[in-house]
Structure 1
């Protein structure tokens, strides 16, 4: 019974075939299911049906899916020892058979990004020389992946791709470009890359060398047989097939013979054009003189290793051997009976039509794998049946003989071998899957290592920058400390100066006020605060006449103008001016006001110093 998950999986494969032209029905189902399951896990989807809906909504996922299904794992001269065997036992054999400048054709099936096609080109160029290579060789590279084919056509590879190639070959066949190394342009013209689906497209014909390394392993057994038949058709004679180390041709010994089985190199076995014609070469029959000959012939027929029946031209049973008697329950009285009246004519298989065909075509008619459950037998037997027309020396049909070959044991061995092959294929598949996962893990580890190295470099750079900034901050801190010390010194000096000015102000009198030339207050002593109740911060910067403090300025302004003009000293008018003022409590107070000039360094008068003392 087909489960819903299997139906959804079949619907997905049909969708890929109808919408994108990729037919994966011939690929190994378990491999496809495993790789699609990875995509479901990455996208956090539950079923294949959900993934099919996701593909319809997100067409960009097709590219990711195909990259996952068509894993392009390749490299230059992968498995170098196998390439040495290919060069010494196949390439040189082809060149020897193709003497006289005849063209040489090669096909790299499943070429991916082209590394193996170019490896074959290098191997041929080494044997022929570049000039003869350009004249004689044509290499075809095919794959399903269009993006991989585009890389192959460009033929530009980064340094890691060619790192394992011998340096002398790398320098000889690659030219440096801005993005990597490019295969030589003059030799690249002999390689042609195109899309080809091995499951349905026609093969490239008349090729001498066919590379399909680790390509067959992705297909199921039936599809593999179909592809191998195409490979056999594609190869010339002699032609060589070069497979991957995980692939074998256990069931195709009639088409290919191993040249080096361990290195997976095979040679095509030519198929016969026509069957061998059997003629009669014995002399005319001599008169029978030995009376024992008929008995000898009868004994030989009776003891034959296969069950055998012989019919005359009229269709009657003429002869049968002991094995046929036992197998079909026949007796001597059945001899002479019409064959169509006997049970053996239709059981275990319908023989009358085969007999008519053999008599009509005058050729042997064979029927393979006839299954027959004999009465009393525990298991059914398997037989190959051959109906052979019998003709005399004149070519006239005289009867037919029917041979029953019991191949039960051989078929059982074949089934066991096929089962062993399937198990071996499964083991190879699991091994390849594990290898792919290990390669993927290795790539991820390399990527992580590169990221860690980059991060380490960035951290080192950041650390150096931090050290530089720390040095700069330390230097700035030292400068700030010096500035702070200087400010402290200046502050202390300013404090001493302020203390000195305060001491001077206190020494001058009870009240001291300093104004500029515009009579704006520059200094307001504590005595002034006490006298008039106006704080220094309220008086600073204000015009003295605008202050409502009970100080009459009328008598003082004329003297102030003469002092500002510098005339007071000349006139001898430096005596105090007595005025009647009012203190902060509204009480009258007599003040003796002395006005002195405020000089700058250049002796110019910049303001007035008013010293006020209370009178009696």
Structure 2
């Protein structure tokens, strides 16, 4: 192995170290960086060992070269033909040993170069895989960022809707409270009206504009035998009473039309016991606070029987 070949292999090693250094600077992944550092350390140790051995071999090669030059001189060769030289034998042995060491070093150097080349290919593959994984991670990060932005936008919309719902709930609560108070006032008013209708002397039937029964007091129940829950909402003129209701059609229509503010007449009737009675019926329009006709009030009173004369 000549000196040029050694220098060529040394240059190849330097190129491998430069490639490893390039990968080290290009890759920012900790596991791959550790692997590269390990490869560089191993390669550097092998290179330093090779340099030390090469230095010794070059010294020995220089000595062998000087000895060969000495042997090539004709006068010296002629002089030493007739006498043995122990130094020559030793130098020949050293030369053979140096060649063997150089050959072994060359094999080690070749193995190191092949190992480094294999490491380069493996690192290139790992670098390619890392680049692919890095692109996938970048895409996943971008997608996750887009998802986060979308979720933040939805969260903002939900917060706005939640505030709107809170406002509506508060409005509903106020409305419910107003309805509760109105219902309470209405119940009190109905109880008050019921007490009034109960206190009046006679049966009361309050009709709406369609002549459906809205109020039927206790005196009306006692007079005709029909309960309030039985006839609530029924048409007054369709009731089957002991009272000739058909004769009340015209007075009731007159009250609804505003043609009469008061109509009174006495009719023969049968009470709930089947006894003939005289019933005084009074029809009056039902006005609202705005003086609008809202229905008809029918007052039915049983007249006392005439006392027999002696």
1:577 aligns with 2:269: no
In the TM superposition, residue 554 of structure 1 has moved relative to its aligned partner by 4.6
Secondary structure of 2:245's aligned partner: coil
CA contact (8 A) 1:511 1:612 kept: yes
In the TM superposition, residue 610 of structure 1 has moved relative to its aligned partner by 0.9
CA contact (8 A) 1:508 1:611 kept: no
CA contact (8 A) 1:515 1:608 kept: yes
What do the CA deviations read for 1:285-324 (whole angstroms, capped 9, x no partner)?
xxxxxxxxxxxxxxxxxxxxxxxxxxxxxxxxxxxxxxxx
User: CA 1:523–1:577 in structure 2 vs 1: closer, same or farther (change >3 Å)?
Assistant: same
1:485 aligns with 2:177: yes
Of the three residues 436, 439, 446, the one matched with 2:138 is 446
Aligned counterparts of 1:555 and 1:462: Cα–Cα separation in 2: 72
How many positions carry a matched residue from both structures? 216
Match of 1:426 in 2: 118
Aligned counterparts of 1:558 and 1:468: Cα–Cα separation in 2: 63
Secondary structure of 2:301's aligned partner: strand
Q: Which has more radius of gyration?
A: 2
Of the three residues 293, 296, 306, the one matched with 1:608 is 296
User: CA 1:502–1:263 in structure 2 vs 1: closer, same or farther (change >3 Å)?
Assistant: farther
CA contact (8 A) 1:581 1:591 kept: no
CA contact (8 A) 1:552 1:581 kept: no
User: CA 1:411–1:549 in structure 2 vs 1: closer, same or farther (change >3 Å)?
Assistant: farther
Match of 1:476 in 2: 168
Output aligned runs, 1:396-407, within 5 Å: none
Output aligned runs, 1:183-262, within 5 Å: none
In the TM superposition, residue 574 of structure 1 has moved relative to its aligned partner by 5.0
Greater Cα shift, 429-438 or 524-533: 524-533
User: CA 1:262–1:478 in structure 2 vs 1: closer, same or farther (change >3 Å)?
Assistant: farther
In the TM superposition, residue 512 of structure 1 has moved relative to its aligned partner by 1.0
1:592 aligns with 2:284: no
Output aligned runs, 1:205-604, within 5 Å: 417-516=109-208, 519-529=211-221, 531-532=223-224, 534-536=226-228, 538-557=230-249, 559-560=251-252, 563=255, 574-575=263-264, 577-583=266-272, 591-600=279-288, 603=291
User: CA 1:461–1:501 in structure 2 vs 1: closer, same or farther (change >3 Å)?
Assistant: same
In the TM superposition, residue 460 of structure 1 has moved relative to its aligned partner by 2.6
CA contact (8 A) 2:204 2:299 kept: yes
CA contact (8 A) 1:555 1:577 kept: no
Aligned counterparts of 1:530 and 1:262: Cα–Cα separation in 2: 125
In the TM superposition, residue 264 of structure 1 has moved relative to its aligned partner by 5.4
Aligned counterparts of 2:183 and 2:206: Cα–Cα separation in 1: 23
CA contact (8 A) 2:264 2:280 kept: no
CA contact (8 A) 1:556 1:577 kept: no
CA contact (8 A) 2:278 2:302 kept: yes
Q: Which runs of 5+ in 1 are unaligned?
A: 1-252, 266-406
What do the CA deviations read for 1:258-281 (whole angstroms, capped 9, x no partner)?
9x868959xxxxxxxxxxxxxxxx
CA contact (8 A) 2:243 2:267 kept: no
Q: Which runs of 5+ in 2 are unaligned?
A: 17-98, 305-310
Match of 2:66 in 1: none
Match of 2:33 in 1: none
Q: Whose helix proportion is higher, 1 or 2?
A: 2
User: CA 1:432–1:461 in structure 2 vs 1: closer, same or farther (change >3 Å)?
Assistant: same
In the TM superposition, residue 591 of structure 1 has moved relative to its aligned partner by 3.6
User: CA 1:559–1:581 in structure 2 vs 1: closer, same or farther (change >3 Å)?
Assistant: farther
CA contact (8 A) 1:514 1:609 kept: yes
Larger RCO: 1 or 2 (CA < 8 Å, sep 6+)? 2
User: CA 1:535–1:431 in structure 2 vs 1: closer, same or farther (change >3 Å)?
Assistant: farther
What do the CA deviations read for 1:204-243 (whole angstroms, capped 9, x no partner)?
xxxxxxxxxxxxxxxxxxxxxxxxxxxxxxxxxxxxxxxx
| RMSD across aligned positions (CA) | 4.0
What do the CA deviations read for 1:383-434 (whole angstroms, capped 9, x no partner)?
xxxxxxxxxxxxxxxxxxxxxxxx9998876665544433222222222233
Aligned counterparts of 1:580 and 1:508: Cα–Cα separation in 2: 20
User: CA 1:552–1:436 in structure 2 vs 1: closer, same or farther (change >3 Å)?
Assistant: same
Secondary structure of 1:471's aligned partner: helix
Q: Whose strand proportion is higher, 1 or 2?
A: 1
Aligned counterparts of 2:151 and 2:210: Cα–Cα separation in 1: 66
Secondary structure of 1:445's aligned partner: helix
